[in-house]
Amino acid sequence: MKTTYRHDNTKTRKRIAILAVTLFLGALFLLYPPLRSVVTSIFYTQTGTAWNVGNKTEDSTVGFWQGFRNNQTLAEKNKNLEEELLRMQAQVLDRNLLAERVAQLEDRLGRVGSDDRVSANVLAGPGRISYDTLVIDAGSAQGIVLGDSVAYAGAGVIGKVVEVYESSSKIKLYSSPGEEFFVAMGGDSFPALARGKGMGNFEALVPQGSSLVAGDLVSLQGTRLLVGVIEVVLEKPDQPFSKILFRSPFNISSITTVEVIIGDNKI
């Protein structure tokens, strides 16, 4: 005798319904910017505190174990020194460019060039998260507005503010994949359109014979803000353009503090 089983479709229907509702709600929350902004703002009031508590807990835990583990203490010191070295390297690289540009600006504007900066701690950033984004602990309460440029180590520019909340902000790094912006390369300020490649890497196309070489500095066009240093110039005889690969002079994933340049949102 042949036995037939009736397939129970109730579970499958329920499952499809749950997935459809989740898909709809997810798309609504993430793809409708005003709603996304409101939801993010709500979460940031809670998670901002959580991140700060987490960072302090981490610091104090590390401090506690340092007393017992000499090797760990040395490793931590080494890490701090490496970070300081990266900062210093960025500052040294930028020094000559700065002096030259400051003099030019002062001439043009008839005043001493200076900008208003807000220092902020990085709560989350590349390396830990999969986006080329920084979350910082300063927001509209500190005077930050959309589009403000964000600098590291006093000079190197790394991105711009794309979302602002009361006490936190989100920064999109210039190295975000697909992000495009104009730069000036080398001593002759050769103009080019740069494109982010992720984790502090960039590429740009310039006409062959541009005289750019590895080690030349790249700054944001129309500013004195350093973006990166040219690593490689790729030239093929049959191509009209050379591909310039450059990168930030410091490790993007080791950034712990940044400076937001207030009122610099016209770049």
Binding site for other proteins (CB under 8 A): 15, 18-19, 22-23, 25-26, 29-31, 33, 36, 39-40, 43-44, 47, 50-51, 54, 124, 127-133, 135, 162-163, 170, 172, 176-179
Q: Which is nearer to other proteins, 102 or 162 (CB)?
A: 162
The Cα 211–Cα 228 span in angstroms is 17
**Least distance (Å) between residue 175 CB and other proteins:** 11
Nearest of 191, 165, 202 to residue 44 by alpha carbon: 165
**Least distance (Å) between residue 162 CB and other proteins:** 5
**Least distance (Å) between residue 130 CB and other proteins:** 4
Q: Which is nearer to other proteins, 132 or 264 (CB)?
A: 132
Backbone dihedral angles phi then psi of residue 182, each to the nearest 5 degrees: -90, 140
**Least distance (Å) between residue 264 CB and other proteins:** 19
Q: Which is nearer to other proteins, 173 or 230 (CB)?
A: 173
Q: Which is nearer to other proteins, 133 or 189 (CB)?
A: 133
CA contacts within 13 A on the Cβ side of 51: 17
**Least distance (Å) between residue 76 CB and other proteins:** 18
The Cα 25–Cα 131 span in angstroms is 22
Q: Which is nearer to other proteins, 54 or 191 (CB)?
A: 54
The Cα 252–Cα 244 span in angstroms is 20
Nearest of 196, 60, 44, 63 to residue 123 by alpha carbon: 44
The Cα 81–Cα 147 span in angstroms is 32
